[in-house]
Amino acid sequence: MMATEIKKGIYWVGGIDWGIRNFHGYLTQRGTTYNSYLIVDEKITLVDTVKYYLVDELLERVASIVDPSKIDYIISNHVEMDHSGGLPRLMEIAENATIITAPNGEKGLSQHYDTSDWKIKTMKTGDRLELGKRNIDFILTPMVHWPDNMVGYMPEEKILFSNDSFGQHIASSERFDDQLSIEMIMEEAKKYYANIVMSYGMQVGKELKQASVLDIEIIAPSHGIIFRKYVKDIVENYVKWSSNIVGKKALIV
């Protein structure tokens, strides 16, 4: 189970759910991934975890790069089980790690897990986590699509860890948007938006406005394929979808 290097010292270490066919009540005929990202710097950092039954995959991939017990920070961008399900196991192994989350994330984690022995640090928009040579700047994105959601931007590498935004349900051995059909990726991104995010279009618009000032070369979402070639295209699509812009149609009876 190989980790995939995104940029030097930054790896995809998530889990691939080949068999899932129902996610939040809609058909996922192509499966999905639960994306987790390992950053190797002066501080070893893991961005999100995976669903509980794929935590062994995550740990194997992390262990191919570093000893999981050496993890310093675990960023929890979203409390939902497909993102945080691996946290209890990881906190047993990386017992000195600090969880980085939003204020609502801290509340949510305490409702789902026994966090009494966990070290938790909360972030608000504009806060920075220093990792060594690199940093992560946080933007709270409540209701995209839960109250606890946040995203992280690494300015040194121009990577946006976008959480549920820009996700798609695609299980694949390939990790990047230039390795699969971009038409298929955009089709799945549109389905994901319609089924998971569309109800929160106003909040998505606010997030896009905040992201518009960032210099982004890579979008690393929590599900599906990582964007590195078609970043502009997926952002433009999100602007269109969140604005409820529709094409002209005619019905002939």
> Residues with catalytic annotation?
24, 78, 80, 82, 145, 164, 192, 223
Strand partners of residue 134: none
What is the number of residues in the chain? 253
Three-class SS of the chain:
CCCEEEECCEEECCEEECCCCEECCEECCCCEEECCEEECCCCCEEECCCCHHHHHHHHHHHHCCCCHHHCCEEEECCCCHHHHCCHHHHHHHCCCCEEEECHHHHHHHHHHCCCCCCEEEECCCCCEEECCCCEEEEEECCCCCCCCCEEEEECCCCEEEEECCCCCCCCCCCCECCCCCHHHHHHHHHHHHHHHHHHHHHHHHHHHHHHCCCCCCEEEECCCCEECCCHHHHHHHHHHHHCCCCCCCCCCC
∠66-87-207 over CA atoms, to 5°?
Answer: 95
Q: Which of 209, 210, 232, 228 is nearest to 218 (CA)?
A: 228
